[in-house]
């Protein structure tokens, strides 16, 4: 079997299938090649406002109404109740200490809540990836993408002409000639191995191991710690982070009761908990629950829905993200750590960028030009570095809750400023804006300096530093983010409880380069109260024959397949 197409996309996670679908809408002849089958388990579930903004922009630009509907919890429930999801109102953090129950010290508790949405309807979501990725694959097929699952690619030949991919499907050899190859196959991906792309891991700082699963019947922190003062949203309907001496734990609750949870452990943390138990992830999981009694109470009676898994190192990084006829999606290029949930937003931003690159080429060369590819490559490298610096700083800051709360302000100031400016400034140019402050002359350099300052305090050994050092760090962060602080962050009077505060935003209109009146006029857009957009696919010469294709959604999902997107 020899097939040919204009674009071959390897890997059908949400990034691969969404890009495949957009390119089909633009009139490209696209093949989407997956080694497994859907639905399949995948990790990486918690979305953020920037991720959902990207989804909305893709929806409007390419006529993908489901992407708009899946961008808030309220619209999702109305339009796609059959796709499993969780309500995510914000980011919740607790600092635990070995052998001690989490201490309720009222407003002085080691607890940080940052709201990401003003109410449930407009809220972000956790994606049950088995359902969501499968949905996007079906939508890609409905848009005209040729989808080949169960396909094991074994080689790629790249020369001056079309790329030639070879492999096996259903026991038969398969060869595909493609004008361009996009690798969306995640860590240790297809092109990284085939082209022996050099690793760039040695330029990064973050290192963590992962022990994880999905669980039934996990208890709520709100029940366990019922006397804590009320926060800006219910603590558990969020991306919940439990900070511990050895690293941190994520806990993401789905509406139907499942909880996705995992510990990320530093090399020192893993050694202290007993590296030996890593050979048996269940023992490692239990050792962590035993060491932290409050987390233990949440999960002791929560059976895993699949075997507890262990990944000795989640980080990977390459030194090159493009060639003349190929490009990598972010997750194939680099991964840092789930702290701050950057993966989905970064992946969707890349879908937007490559979609624009192909859109520009649609009536010409039908391949992104060298200049655009170089720009894409440079963005990948700078953004991977920036994510690493912000996360590595946060790992240092785990040494003391005050340090962590201050470092977290850097992340939240960066993303809330980006969100406000993108919502108020319209879609133009947003896709190519630097992710996580890259290219911002104010915020861009802060993560590197922050990491250096934190290392001086912790001496790189997890020392909590002196009270004066911690206070000085907090003051430095507050001053560093002040020119972009549209959300009233780093304010001691808030006691680490940050609601969505539109009054502060209006007061700080000048930081966004707007008058008070301009900002007030933009508030409906910020609150998601604008009129529902219309969804009309763009018309290019080649896609005329494709417009009007009926979509098929909501087909019943078969049982989960035991595949994963982990390395
Ligand atoms: C522990 C953990 C928690 C995370 N939590 C979050 C979070 O809360 N929020 C967030 O935003 N991000 C999170 N991430 C990151 C997130 O997982 C990724 O950003 C996301 O999965 C990227 O999606 P993708 O579609 O690019 O690739 P993937 O989801 O990795 O999908 C790759 C696809 O390619 C297929 N494939 C692989 N190799 C081949 C091949 N050779 N041929 C054909 N097909 C192939 C795979 O089967 C898979 O279907 C987390 C990551 C980890 C490790």
> Mind listing the pLDDT tens digit for each residue in 375-393?
999 999 999 999 999 999 9
pLDDT tier, 533 (very low <50, low <70, confident <90, very high otherwise): confident
When mean pLDDT is compared across 171-175, 485-489, 553-557, the lowest value belongs to 553-557
Give the distance, in angstroms, between the CA of residue 339 and the centroid of all CA atoms in the same chain.
Answer: 9
| CA of 167, closest atom in ligand 1 | 42
Q: How many Å apart are CA 513 and CA 532, to the nearest integer?
A: 27
- CA angle (374, 378, 382) in 5-degree steps: 175
| CA of 239, closest atom in ligand 1 | 8
Q: Give the residue whose CA is nearest to atom 21 of ligand 1.
A: 44
Helix (H, G, I), strand (E, B) or coil at 21: helix
- CA angle (419, 423, 425) in 5-degree steps: 110
Distance set, CA 481 to CA 116, 494, 506 (Å): 18, 17, 17
For residue range 429-480, what is the model confidence (pLDDT) as tens digits?
A: 899 999 999 999 999 999 999 999 999 999 989 999 999 999 999 999 999 9
DSSP 8-state symbol, 305: S
For residue range 93-120, what is the model confidence (pLDDT) as tens digits?
A: 999 999 999 999 999 999 999 999 999 9
Q: How many Å apart are CA 522 and CA 18, to the nearest integer?
A: 29
Distance set, CA 428 to CA 57, 61, 266, 381, 425 (Å): 10, 11, 40, 23, 8
Kindly tell me the burial class for residue 427, based on how many C-beta atoms sit within 10 Å of its own C-beta (0-12, 13-18, 19 or more): middle
DSSP 8-state symbol, 530: S
| CA of 212, closest atom in ligand 1 | 1
Residue spans of beta strands (DSSP E) within 434-558: 497-498
Q: Give the residue whose CA is nearest to atom 37 of ligand 1.
A: 185
Ligand 1, CB cutoff 6 Å, lining residues: 10-16, 33-36, 42-46, 153, 184-186, 189-190, 210, 212, 262, 314, 329, 331, 338, 341, 343-345, 347, 563, 565
Q: Which residues pair with 310 in a beta bridge?
A: 211
* Most informative mutation of 136, 185, 213 for ligand 1 (most atoms within 8 A of CB): 185
DSSP 8-state symbol, 171: T
Distance set, CA 267 to CA 206, 245, 274, 275 (Å): 10, 12, 11, 9
Rounded to two decimals, the pTM is 0.95
């Amino acid at each position: 079997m020899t097939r040919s197409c204009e674009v071959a996309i390897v890997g059908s996670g949400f990034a691969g299938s969404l890009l495949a679908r957009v390119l089909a809408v633009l009139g490209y002849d696209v093949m989407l090649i997956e080694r497994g089958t859907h639905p399949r388990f995948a990790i990486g579930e918690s979305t953020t406002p920037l991720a959902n903004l990207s989804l909305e922009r893709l929806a409007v630009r390419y006529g993908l109404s489901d992407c708009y509907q899946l961008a808030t919890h309220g619209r999702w429930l109305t339009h796609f109740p059959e796709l499993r999801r969780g309500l995510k109102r914000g980011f919740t953090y607790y600092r635990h200490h070995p052998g001690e129950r989490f201490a309720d010290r009222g407003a002085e508790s080691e607890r940080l809540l940052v709201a990401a949405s003003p109410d449930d309807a407009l809220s972000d979501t956790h994606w049950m990836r088995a359902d969501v990725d499968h949905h996007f694959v079906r939508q890609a097929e409905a848009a005209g993408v040729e989808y080949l699952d169960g396909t094991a690619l074994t080689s790629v030949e790249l020369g001056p002409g079309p790329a030639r991919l070879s492999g096996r499907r259903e026991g038969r050899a398969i060869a595909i000639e493609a004008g361009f190859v996009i690798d969306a196959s995640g860590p240790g991906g297809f092109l990284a191995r085939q082209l022996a792309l050099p690793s760039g891991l040695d330029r990064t700082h973050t290192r963590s191991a992962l022990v994880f699963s999905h669980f039934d019947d996990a208890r709520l922190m709100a029940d366990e710690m019922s006397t804590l003062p009320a926060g800006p949203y219910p603590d558990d309907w969020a991306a919940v982070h439990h900070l511990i001496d050895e690293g941190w734990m994520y806990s993401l609750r789905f509406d139907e009761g499942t909880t996705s949870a995992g510990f990320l452990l530093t090399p020192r943390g893993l050694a202290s908990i007993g590296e030996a138990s890593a050979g048996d992830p269940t023992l490692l999981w239990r050792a962590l629950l035993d060491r932290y009694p409050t987390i233990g109470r949440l999960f002791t009676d929560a059976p895993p829905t699949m075997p507890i898994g262990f990944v000795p190192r989640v980080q990977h990084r390459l030194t090159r993200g493009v060639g003349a006829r190929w490009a990598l999606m972010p997750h194939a290029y680099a991964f840092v750590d789930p702290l701050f949930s950057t993966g989905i937003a970064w992946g969707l931003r890349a879908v937007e960028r490559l979609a624009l690159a192909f859109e520009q080429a649609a009536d010409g060369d039908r391949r992104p030009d060298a200049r655009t590819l170089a720009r894409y490559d440079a963005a990948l490298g700078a953004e991977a570095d920036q994510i690493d610096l912000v996360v590595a700083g946060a790992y240092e800051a785990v040494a003391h809750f005050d340090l962590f709360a201050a470092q977290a302000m850097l992340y939240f100031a960066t993303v809330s400023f980006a969100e406000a400016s993108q919502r108020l400034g319209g879609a133009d140019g947003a896709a190519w804006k630097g992710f996580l402050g890259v290219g911002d002359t104010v915020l861009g350099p802060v993560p590197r300096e922050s990491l250096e300052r934190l290392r001086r305090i912790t001496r790189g050994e997890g020392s909590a530093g002196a009270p004066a050092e911690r206070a000085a760090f907090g003051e430095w962060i507050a001053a560093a983010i002040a020119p972009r602080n549209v959300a009233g962050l780093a304010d001691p009077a808030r006691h680490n409880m940050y609601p969505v505060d539109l009054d502060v935003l209006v007061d700080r209109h000048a930081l966004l380069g707007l008058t008070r009146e301009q900002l007030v006029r933009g508030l409906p857009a910020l609150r998601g109260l604008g009129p529902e957009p219309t969804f009309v696919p763009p018309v290019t010469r080649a896609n005329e024959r494709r417009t009007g294709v009926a979509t098929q959604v909501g087909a019943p999902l078969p049982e989960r397949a035991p595949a994963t997107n982990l390395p």
